[in-house]
């Protein structure tokens, strides 16, 4: 019985999407039109090992299709730049340079955000099952990892937005730690 | 019968000569059957001035990059290419001939990480006593917590309880920082996405051409057998080993084709002249003897015979056959007339052989083993061919031996020669023009880049450059070499040098560098790191203080306390411990041992879009005062060596010229005659050189050898013309001061065979052979014409 209903849910899922008259393709197509973006963010991380949540804020820069920059200004300046699969993390005088391909979990995680911003459905569906809820006015795109290795790290990524603007990203890790980032558009060059 | 005793007397002498000759041929055959042919191109690269330096360069050539094969899969679509890449990699990883097969798939990464993690307190340069003080721990913990909250937090979270000071992050930063190709469908692909990429390291060194050939075959086989293969997909390979394999194939194919075509061409030419198969067969005897003697001599003196020497040998056929042409054509009556030839012409031919030997002897002193081989081959070959022509061939000719009458051609030539003097002015103008061209181009006459000798085709070089750019494979141009008497001492020096280089990286002078000490620190350094770790009780107390003010509890780090306690008594890392990790490969390539001499190589990467300022790096290194530390620019170094040897070769050739002049002065005892002999040869050399310049050929060292050959071969013509002007006393009735039509005809035929032999080389796609061909073929024609024009009749 349970299997049957699961199958039914799977079959119905796209139908529901279509029924709303607005689907993932349209959402991603809209997002893909944005070639570059600049936004502010406020992020809160809940980590079990730490006694209290970590709050940070800063700015986001995005240039289609694969340049993503996160500049944290508070509490401590640091930056993360993803460019062509190389992840550079600058913290004070320290610079960490990582090749995303060496860390499949990290690559999948970063690609979820990059892929959404770039409207790259193929890249997203390589690693995630996509679920879209809501309307064009107020949507939530949920990414559920397909690969077991990734599922061991990331449980769920939930991206919410208004029309073709991303408003929040919520990441729930497998061990229960989570982060919630609110994004506020600054300027559109 | 009267001639009987004479004949028997001749037979006795003949028998001795023939037996000696056969014994000689047999001996040569034995030597040759035991000799080894090589196509290793280092024979045509200059030897370094000192053996130690040479050894080092060889090691560098053998070790660092020579085992790399860069593979590209082109055509078809991206998923097919990626699938092929993975299938090939899976198959090759199972083969022992390959040390590593990298196509971006995360293979062995976990083993490497486990190794690094287990040895982090010995490997991390951040491990110092200060780091394990209360303040140091506090700072390190705060950093780790910050990192935990950062985007990379995902990676370090699981490590935090065991590694709160972040030593693993330190190590990964150092090892994983190099740029790599992008991934498409799970495998490396070029920047434009048009080809899948693989980096394969063979177990055998790049100079082991047979093993490299097998490795290439295995890669191709894996490609052909891959279930995902499609007709549209294409496999391309490049790398030092691939280059030696393709060069060898080119050289072998060229040499066998050249020798077949050259023999056929010369045989056809001679058959046309002689109209006699027995004359043709007999005429080739000195040539075969010469070729065998040449190969045997080279094999005895050098241990190996180079493929290029054999290719060059085919061209020398055209010159060695000259002696029998002189004998056959210049002997007027046949039969006993050969004895008269010996009396009349042999001294001239002998002098020609001697001048050739003087010329080639200068090559024997060359710093290029390959050139010395060519010199020895020529000397031995010419002596053997001339000796056989003089002492054996006349005895082998049947009594009624006669070739087709060529006097008609001779008479035509005779008339031409008589009018040749009229061309003096034209020749003088041409010569003046040639001199002007040479003076104008004197600065860029010579190509002093070592790549000019390379047998690798331009298309292959272009493929190599593009694959290298795609994969980011190092081309190992800049190196710091650290030498010492033990592994420990070079590792310890490498650590000092690394500190200097790191400062240069921080200042942007370098993009990065490699060092064996990164993977295998010196025992002293490892020991120092180990003794920086406090005892468990002290560490626990310090940790409790250090977490104050941080959002963590000390209890979280119980695994850290246990790991540090274990690390304090951990055995120091040995080279053998690296085995089965990818770090072993790096240490193997970077740490070299030669007897009790150790060297460490630290390859440098230039900053993107810029070159390395050698002077600044040298200055920084010498400021350390470390002995036996050398900054090497491989390309500049070998170019500089080559241009040094080019100058040496020019000097040696001039020496050869002086030796020829001295010889002629000694024999002829007349400076005027020597000038008359040398003048047409010099004119030919100048004109050919100017011609090559006009056609845009920059001269390489092999053009110089070609010029030497022009002098050697041309000296025969000049001597014949000179001989006609100054008939030897022994010759009865030789009063007419003009060259005989037969001699002229023989010179024309000899010239044609030489042109045919060397002309063929001009079509070779090996620059080494081509250079000689385009120099000698026109050069000897000019030498003959100039000799005719400047011959002495006109001043009569």
B701 within 8 A of B368, measured Cβ to Cβ: yes
Determine which of B275-279, B578-582, B748-752 has the lowest per-residue pLDDT on average: B578-582
Angle, helices B634-668/B671-694, rounded to nearest 10 degrees: 150
Give chain A positions within 8 Å (CB) of B551: 50-52, 54
Domain ranges of chain A: 21-187
Among B116, B152, B671, B605, CA closest to A87: B152
Q: Which residues does A103 contact at the CB level (< 8 Å), separation at least 6?
A: B155
Residue A144 or B581, more confident: A144
Q: What is the pLDDT of residues B510-541, one digit of tens each?
A: 888 888 998 999 999 999 999 999 999 999 99
Q: Burial-class residue B330 by CB neighbours within 10 Å (0-12, 13-18, 19+).
A: buried
pTM over 0.90: no
Alpha-carbon A157 to chain mean position: 6
Average pLDDT of the residues of chain B = 84
Q: What is the pLDDT of residues B621-646, one digit of tens each?
A: 888 888 888 888 877 777 777 777 78
- The secondary structure element, H or E, covering residue B627 is none
What is the Cα–Cα distance from B601 to B107, expressed in whole angstroms?
26
What is the Cα–Cα distance from B733 to B748, expressed in whole angstroms?
25
Contact B552 A50 (CB under 8 A): yes
Q: What is the pLDDT of residues B43-74, one digit of tens each?
A: 666 665 555 566 556 665 666 667 889 999 99
What is the Cα–Cα distance from B582 to B178, expressed in whole angstroms?
15
CA separation (Å) from B46 to B368, B470, B699? Answer: 5, 31, 17
Which of A89, A150, A171 to probe by mutation at the B interface, max B CB count within 10 Å?
Answer: A89
Chain B residues 153-192 with a CB less than 8 Å from chain A: 153-155, 157, 160-161, 169, 172-173, 176-177, 179-180, 182-183
Nearest by CB to A70, which of B148, B151, B551? B151
Contact B151 A51 (CB under 8 A): no
B341 within 8 A of B331, measured Cβ to Cβ: yes
Give the residue on A whose Cα is nearest the Cα of B110. Answer: A102
The phi, psi pair for B183, rounded to 5°, reads -100, 130
* Residue with tokens 């181009």, as numbered in its chain: B441
What is the Cα–Cα distance from B65 to B47, expressed in whole angstroms?
20
pLDDT bucket at B734, cuts 50 / 70 / 90? very low
Q: Burial-class residue B19 by CB neighbours within 10 Å (0-12, 13-18, 19+).
A: exposed
Q: What is the pLDDT of residues B541-573, one digit of tens each?
A: 999 999 888 888 888 899 999 999 999 999 999
- ipTM of the complex in this document: 0.73
Q: What is the pLDDT of residues A132-173, one digit of tens each?
A: 988 888 999 999 998 888 888 889 999 999 888 889 999 898
Q: Which residues does B572 contact at the CB level (< 8 Å), separation at least 6?
A: B122, B523, B526, B527, B530
Listed in sequence order, the DSSP H helices in B365-423 are 369-387, 393-396, 407-420
The pLDDT of residue B4 is above 70? no
Give the residue on B whose Cα is nearest the Cα of A104. Answer: B106
CA diameter of chain B? 130
The pLDDT of residue B775 is above 90? yes
The pLDDT of residue B473 is above 90? no
The pLDDT of residue A67 is above 50? yes
The pLDDT of residue A85 is above 70? yes
Q: What is the pLDDT of residue A189?
A: 44
pLDDT bucket at B792, cuts 50 / 70 / 90? low
B331 within 8 A of B320, measured Cβ to Cβ: no
Domain A21-187 has CATH 2.50.20.10: yes
What is the Cα–Cα distance from B462 to B67, expressed in whole angstroms?
19
Chain B residues 99-138 with a CB less than 8 Å from chain A: 104, 106, 109
Among B593, B594, B600, B622, CA closest to B517: B600
User: How is residue B514 written in tokens?
Assistant: 């490699």
Give chain A positions within 8 Å (CB) of B180: 85, 99, 101
Determine which of A42-51, A96-105, B648-657, B728-737 has the lowest per-residue pLDDT on average: B728-737
Contact B176 A102 (CB under 8 A): yes
Query: B201: helix, coil or strand?
Result: strand
Q: What is the pLDDT of residues B126-154, one digit of tens each?
A: 999 999 999 999 999 988 888 787 766 77
Q: What is the pLDDT of residues B70-99, one digit of tens each?
A: 999 998 888 899 999 999 999 999 999 998
């Amino acid at each position: 019985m349970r299997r049957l209903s699961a199958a039914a849910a799977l079959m119905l899922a796209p139908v529901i999407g279509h029924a709303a008259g607005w689907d993932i393709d349209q959402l991603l197509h809209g997002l893909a039109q944005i070639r570059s973006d600049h936004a502010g963010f406020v992020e809160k991380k809940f980590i079990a090992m730490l006694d209290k949540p970590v709050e940070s804020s800063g700015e986001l820069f995005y240039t289609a299709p694969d340049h993503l920059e996160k500049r944290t200004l508070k509490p401590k300046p640091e930056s993360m730049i993803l460019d062509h699969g190389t992840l550079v993390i600058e913290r004070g005088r320290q610079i960490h340079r990582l090749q995303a391909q060496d860390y499949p979990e990290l690559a999948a995680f970063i690609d979820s955000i990059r892929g959404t911003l770039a409207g790259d459905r193929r890249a997203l569906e390589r690693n995630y099952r996509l679920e879209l809820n809501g309307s064009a006015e107020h949507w939530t795109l949920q990414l559920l990892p397909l690969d077991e290795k990734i599922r061991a790290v990331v449980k769920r990524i939930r991206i919410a937005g208004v029309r073709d603007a991303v408003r929040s990203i919520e990441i729930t890790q497998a061990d229960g730690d989570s982060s919630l980032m609110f994004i506020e558009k600054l300027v559109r060059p | 019968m009267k001639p009987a005793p004479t004949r028997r007397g001749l037979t006795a002498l003949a028998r001795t000569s023939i037996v000696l000759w056969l014994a000689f041929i047999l001996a040569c055959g034995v030597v040759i059957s035991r000799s080894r042919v090589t196509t290793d191109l280092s024979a045509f690269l200059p030897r370094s001035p000192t053996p130690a330096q040479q050894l080092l360069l060889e090691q560098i050539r053998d070790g660092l990059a020579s085992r790399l094969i860069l593979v590209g899969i082109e055509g078809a679509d991206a998923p097919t290419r990626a699938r092929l890449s993975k299938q090939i990699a899976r198959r090759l990883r199972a083969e022992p001939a390959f040390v590593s097969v990298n196509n971006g798939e995360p293979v062995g990464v976990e083993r490497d990480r486990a190794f690094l993690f287990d040895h982090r307190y010995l490997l991390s340069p951040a491990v110092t006593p200060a780091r394990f003080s209360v303040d140091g721990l506090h700072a390190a913990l705060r950093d780790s917590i910050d990192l935990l909250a950062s985007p990379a937090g995902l990676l370090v979270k699981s490590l935090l309880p065991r590694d709160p000071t972040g030593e693993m992050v330190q190590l990964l930063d150092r090892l994983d920082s190099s740029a790599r190709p992008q991934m498409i469908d799970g495998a490396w692909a070029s920047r434009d996405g048009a080809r899948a990429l693989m980096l394969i390291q063979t177990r055998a060194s790049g100079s082991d051409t047979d093993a490299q050939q097998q490795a290439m075959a295995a890669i191709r086989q894996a490609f052909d057998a891959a279930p995902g293969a499609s007709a549209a997909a294409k496999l391309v390979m490049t790398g030092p080993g691939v280059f030696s394999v393709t060069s060898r194939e080119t050289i072998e194919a060229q040499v066998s084709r050249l020798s077949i075509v050259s023999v056929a061409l010369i045989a056809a030419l001679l058959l046309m002249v002689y109209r006699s198969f027995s004359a043709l067969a007999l005429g080739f005897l000195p040539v075969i003897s010469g070729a065998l003697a040449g190969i045997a001599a080279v094999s005895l003196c050098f241990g190996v015979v180079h493929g290029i020497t054999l290719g060059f040998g085919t061209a020398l056929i055209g010159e060695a056959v000259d002696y029998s042409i002189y004998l056959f054509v210049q002997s007027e009556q046949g039969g006993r007339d050969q004895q008269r030839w010996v009396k009349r012409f042999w001294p001239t031919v002998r002098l020609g052989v001697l001048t050739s030997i003087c010329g080639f002897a200068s090559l024997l002193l060359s710093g290029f083993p390959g050139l010395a081989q060519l010199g020895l081959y020529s000397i031995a070959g010419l002596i053997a061919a001339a000796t056989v022509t003089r002492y054996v061939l006349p005895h082998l000719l049947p009594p009624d031996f006669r070739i087709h009458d060529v006097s008609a051609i001779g008479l035509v030539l005779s008339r031409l020669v008589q009018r040749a003097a009229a061309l003096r002015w034209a020749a003088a103008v041409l010569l003046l023009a040639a001199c002007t061209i040479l003076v104008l181009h004197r600065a860029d006459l010579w190509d002093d880049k070592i790549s000019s000798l390379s047998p690798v085709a331009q298309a292959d070089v272009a493929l190599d450059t593009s694959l290298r750019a795609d994969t980011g494979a190092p081309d190992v141009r800049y190196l710091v070499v650290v030498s010492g008497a033990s592994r420990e001492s070079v590792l310890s020096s490498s650590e000092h040098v690394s500190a200097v280089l790191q400062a240069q990286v921080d200042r942007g002078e370098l993009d990065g560098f490699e060092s064996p000490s990164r993977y295998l620190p010196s025992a002293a350094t490892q020991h120092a790191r180990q003794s920086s770790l406090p005892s468990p009780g002290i560490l626990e107390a310090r940790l409790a203080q250090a977490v104050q003010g941080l959002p963590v509890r000390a209890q979280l780090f119980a695994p850290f306390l246990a790991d540090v306690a274990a690390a304090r008594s951990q055995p120091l890392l040995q080279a053998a411990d690296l085995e089965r990790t990818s770090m072993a490969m790096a240490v193997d390539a970077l740490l070299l041992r030669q007897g009790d001499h150790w060297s460490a190589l630290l390859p440098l990467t230039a900053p993107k879009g810029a070159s390395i300022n050698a002077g600044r790096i040298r200055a920084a290194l010498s400021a350390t005062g470390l002995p036996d530390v050398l900054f090497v620019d491989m390309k500049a170094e070998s170019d500089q060596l080559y241009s040094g040897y080019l100058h040496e070769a020019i000097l040696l050739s001039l020496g050869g010229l002086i030796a020829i002049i001295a010889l002629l002065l000694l024999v002829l005892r007349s400076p005027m005659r020597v000038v008359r002999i040398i003048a047409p040869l010099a004119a030919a050399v100048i004109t050919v050189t100017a011609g090559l310049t006009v056609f845009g050929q920059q001269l390489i060292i092999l053009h110089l050898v070609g010029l030497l050959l022009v002098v050697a071969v041309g000296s025969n013509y000049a001597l014949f013309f000179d001989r006609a002007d100054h008939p030897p006393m022994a010759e009865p009735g030789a009063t007419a001061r003009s060259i005989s039509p037969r001699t002229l005809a023989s010179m024309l035929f000899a010239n044609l065979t030489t042109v045919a032999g060397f002309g063929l080389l001009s079509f070779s796609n090996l620059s080494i052979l081509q250079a000689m061909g385009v120099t000698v073929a026109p050069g000897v024609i000019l030498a003959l014409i100039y000799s005719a024009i400047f011959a002495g009749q006109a001043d009569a």
